[in-house]
Amino acid sequence: METHPAKRVEIIIEAVMERRLTQTLSDAGVTGYTVLPVTGGSGRSGYWNREGQIGRASGMVAVICLIRPEKLDALLEAAFAVVDRHIGVVNITDAQILRAERF
Amino acid sequence: MISTAAETLLSPIVLSFVLGVAAALARSDLSFPEAIAKGLSLYLLFAIGFKGGASIASHGIDGRLLATLLAGALLSLTLPFVAFALLRLLTKLTVVDAASIAAHYGSISIVTFVAATTLLAGQNVEAEGYMVAVAAAMEAPAILSALWIVARRSRGGEGMGADVWREILLNGSIVLLLGSFVIGWLTGERGLQEIAGLVVVPFKGILCLFLLDMGIVAGRGLRANGSVLTPGVILFGLGMPLVGATAGLAAGTVLGLSTGGVTLMMVLSASASYIAVPAAMRVALPEANPALSLGLALGITFPFNLILGIPLYLAAATLVAGGQ
C-alpha cells in the first residue's frame, strides 16, 4: 500500500489552554487534530494525576496533529505563541500516512 | 465552643475527609474516578444553590442582600493585598507565586461553604439564604487584585482577555450555583418539596463522599508536593484564614447579619479557592507554581477550616452577633 511522509506533532499542554491552542492551530490552517485526555504524569512542577480532581487547573491534554512536512514551521510558530510559557511538552516525529489528500 | 468543636470533629463529614487524607498518606489505592468526583460536585452545587433560593422565597429578601453582596465582593478584592503582604513577609516566594496564592485566598472555597452550611444546620443555626449568592460574588474579584499586583510589581503575567473573563465569570460552578439559586427562588418551598428526595435527603451522605474524595486529593497532593510547603508557607496557610475570618466577622457584624450569616461570611473570607482561581491563574500567570497554591489551599487551609476553623468562626460569631 502506498504511504506518504508526514509529521506527527504531539503537544501536551494544560487543559485550560486546550481551546486557545486548537483555535490558534485552526487559525494557522491546521484544521485536523485529535485531543486526547492525559491521566497523569510528572515533570518540573511535580507529580499529578486526574483521579478525584474537579477543577481543570491541574489537568493536561494531548493535542495531536498529523500534517504535511511543509506545514510544520507554520504550525510550530503558531503553537509556540500559546504554549511557550506554559507547562507541557512538544515533540515531533516522522510519520507515514495512507490518504495524503486528507492532510 | 469545645463541645461544638468536638461535634464538628466527630461529624461524618469531617471524619470522611480525615479518612481520605489518611488513605492517601498511607498510599492506599482508594480513589474516585474524575467523572464521579465532578458529578458529586455538580450535585452539591445544584443542591446548595437550590436550597439557598428556596430559603429566600420562604423568608423574603431583606435590604441587606445588596450590601452583603457588595461587602463580599469588596472583601474578595482587598484580601489578596493582605495575603500578598503576609506572604512577602513570611516567605521568600517570587512576586508571581505570592500574587497567585493571594488570588486563591481572596476568592472562596465553595466546598468549605457547603460543609459549613451543613455543620451549621446540624447545630440548628440558620443563615441568610442569599449567602449562596454572596459566595458566587466573591469568586472572581480576587483575580483582578492579583493581576494588578503582578502588573505593578513584575513583568510576569499574560494578561486577561475578554475570553478569559468570560470563562471565569461563566465557569460551570458559578452558572450552576446561581442558576439553581434562581430556580429555588422562583419555585420556593413547593419546588423544594418536589425534589427534596434529591437535594435534601441524600445531601449529607453525598457531601461525605465528596469530602472523602477531597481528603484523598489533599493527602495525595501533600505526599507528592509537600516539599514546596516551607514552614513560612504553612504558617501563612494557617494564619491567613484567621485574618480573612476576622475581616468577615467585622463585615458580617456591621451588616447586621444573623449568627449563621456572620459565620458564613467568615468562612467565605477565610477559605481559599481551588476550582475557579487555579484555572484562571494557569492562564494568566503561567509562571506561578500550581503545586504551591493548590497544596496550600487544599492541603493546609481547607483541612484547617473544616476541622478547627468552622467551630471557631461559629463561636466568634455567636459571641459578637449575640445569637441573633
Residue B168 has a pLDDT of 76
pLDDT tens sequence across B62-119? 778 889 999 999 999 999 999 999 999 999 999 999 999 999 999 999 999 999 999 8
- Give the number of beta-carbon pairs within 8 Å between A and B: 69
Residues β-bridged to residue A42? A47
Architecture category of domain A4-102 in CATH: 2-Layer Sandwich (3.30)
C-alpha cell at B216: 484523598
Q: Report chain A residues whose CB lies below 8 A from the CB of B217.
A: 52-53
Whether residues A45 and B291 touch (CB distance < 8 A) is answered with: yes
Q: Report chain B residues whose CB lies below 8 A from the CB of A43.
A: none
Residue B155 has a pLDDT of 58
The domain that holds B252 is classified in CATH as 1.20.1530.20
DSSP for B245-289, written as a single string: HHHHHHHHHHHT--HHHHHHHHHHHH---SSHHHHHHHHH-TTS-
pTM equals: 0.86
CA–CA min distance A43, chain B (Å):
11
Interface of B with A (CB under 8 A): 31-34, 37-38, 41, 158, 163, 213-214, 216-217, 220, 224-225, 228, 274-276, 278-279, 281-283, 286-287, 289-291, 294
Whether residues B224 and A86 touch (CB distance < 8 A) is answered with: no
Task: Name the closest residue on chain B to residue A54, using Cα atoms.
Answer: B38
pLDDT tens sequence across B18-58? 999 999 999 999 999 888 998 999 999 999 999 989 988 88
Residue B164 has a pLDDT of 73
Q: Report chain A residues whose CB lies below 8 A from the CB of B41.
A: 54
Residue B19 C-alpha from the chain's centroid: 21
Residue B7 has a pLDDT of 72
E runs forming strands in B185-252? none
CA–CA min distance B279, chain A (Å):
4
Whether residues A51 and B287 touch (CB distance < 8 A) is answered with: no
Of B214, B228, B287, the CB nearest to A85: B287
Task: Name the closest residue on chain A to residue B172, using Cα atoms.
Answer: A55
pLDDT tens sequence across B255-285? 999 999 999 999 999 999 988 888 888 888 8
Residue A45 has a pLDDT of 65
* Of B75 and B152, more confident: B75
The number of folded domains in chain B is 1
How is chain A split into domains, by residue range? 4-102
Whether residues B287 and A45 touch (CB distance < 8 A) is answered with: no
What is the domain extent for residue B37?
Answer: 2-24+32-321
CA–CA min distance A19, chain B (Å):
11
Nearest CA to A49 out of A63, A59, A57 is that of A59
Whether residues A85 and B286 touch (CB distance < 8 A) is answered with: yes
Whether residues B278 and A45 touch (CB distance < 8 A) is answered with: no
Name B33's Cβ contacts closer than 8 Å, sequence gap at least 6.
A51, A52
Nearest CA to B215 out of B302, B293, B279, B291 is that of B302
Positive or negative: CA dihedral B51, B55, B57, B63 = negative
DSSP for B60-88, written as a single string: ---THHHHHHHHHHHHHHHHHHHHHHHHH
The overall average pLDDT reported for chain B is: 89
Whether residues B279 and A55 touch (CB distance < 8 A) is answered with: yes
CA–CA min distance A65, chain B (Å):
23
Interface test with A, best of B164, B207, B217 (most A CBs within 10 A): B217
Rounded Cα distance, B132 and B139, in Å: 11
Task: Reply yes or no on whether the pLDDT at B290 is more than 90.
Answer: no
